[in-house]
Structure 1
Amino acid sequence: MEAFFVIAQLLYSDDGNLDYRVNIFLRQKWNDPRLAYSEYPDDSLDLDPSMLDSIWKPDLFFANEKGANFHEVTTDNKLLRIFKNGNVLYSIR
């Protein structure tokens, strides 16, 4: 499993308490051979993020985080893409 993130915005920093608030884009990649396919010609399939409840996902956590929430303005900011070889890309803001 691979995980990486991009800091989209540093909102504030409280140097006295060593606290800060950021907006990030988080991407996770992993391989699940059970999701490999060959029936479709496309190299990848973009699935509805509601399918996330139906597949295995790696456990990811941020040690020592004080609070977190997901960005939901008009719709969830999530992408779920599955590749022919079973690779999975999950991106969230």
Structure 2
Amino acid sequence: MATKKTYTVEITCDVCKKKETIHEGDPQGILPVKSAVRQIGFLDERGHLTKAEEQLLLTESLDLCPECREKSHTMIIARIAQPYTTIARYSFLSNKELEEAE
């Protein structure tokens, strides 16, 4: 008797943390997108934000849901890194935060 294996994958939006479960063969809403990302700071060992002196503007490939993907065309995404890990937190920069950064 033949058995059929199906795969299920859970993808999370990097910005809003919305989750999507995809079964093999189903279309997915969360897609990898190249986006403008500004490194605004780092979390220290105690979890406090340390603002970066030079806020670099980078292009990163992020997994974004349809809503965040639409916003990413007009807004810059802020990135806060954690030391000694590859973990980063992403959010959209408001116009006020963007003016302060410049």
TM-score, with structure 1 as normaliser: 0.28
Higher RCO, 1 vs 2 (CA within 8 Å, ≥6 residues apart): 1
Computing the radius of gyration from Cα coordinates, the structure with the larger value is 2
Higher helix share: 2
TM-score, with structure 2 as normaliser: 0.26
